[in-house]
Structure 1
Amino acid sequence: MVHTIPVEIDYISVRDDGSLIVGGGGQTYKTSPNREMMVDNADDSYFPEETRQYFVGYANRNYKSLADAKFVNDYTWTGCMGFTEDGFPFVGDLT
């Protein structure tokens, strides 16, 4: 099954300590040369490098008030997302 649900939405959340959590990066999936590695793959250890690179400087590029701020990427993670044929996500074991 080919994923056809729009995945271009990113999100950002400011924590109480002032740190940021930024997520999404779904648009990297559409253009990835490794796209086939992402389809029907329940291995959470697979992490596309292009997705990691997408978030380097993300806040600086997307928020004028943060253009000159210094950021350190403390942690990067990924996870599996499952979708049914009608495009709605489901909860459960992906294997």
Structure 2
Amino acid sequence: MRFLSLTSRRSALEAIRGGRFSQASDVWSWAVTVWEIWTGGAMPWSKCASSDEIVRQLEAGHRLPWPRLACPRRLYQLMLACWRTEPGARPTFAYLAERLD
């Protein structure tokens, strides 16, 4: 079992699994930060006790929940796009800037 660090709560699946970081993994982490802001600072994956448990959740298709009370649905849809399993399927920062402008 891998220890759970603060960064693994915010890291893309490929970064947790194999330490592969890229602009696509940064997009994932950015979306987690946006989620944290809209939840008022909630801890991502707070019910997971290890990195392995987070990986299992992500591999099963689970993602952080929609913070319904505050977050516009359209913004949550962007977050979900940032959390796609395949790094190449995630939006770029240029696309995100355009959508959020």
TM-score (norm. length: structure 1): 0.29
TM-score (norm. length: structure 2): 0.28
More helix per residue: 1 or 2? 2
More strand per residue: 1 or 2? 1
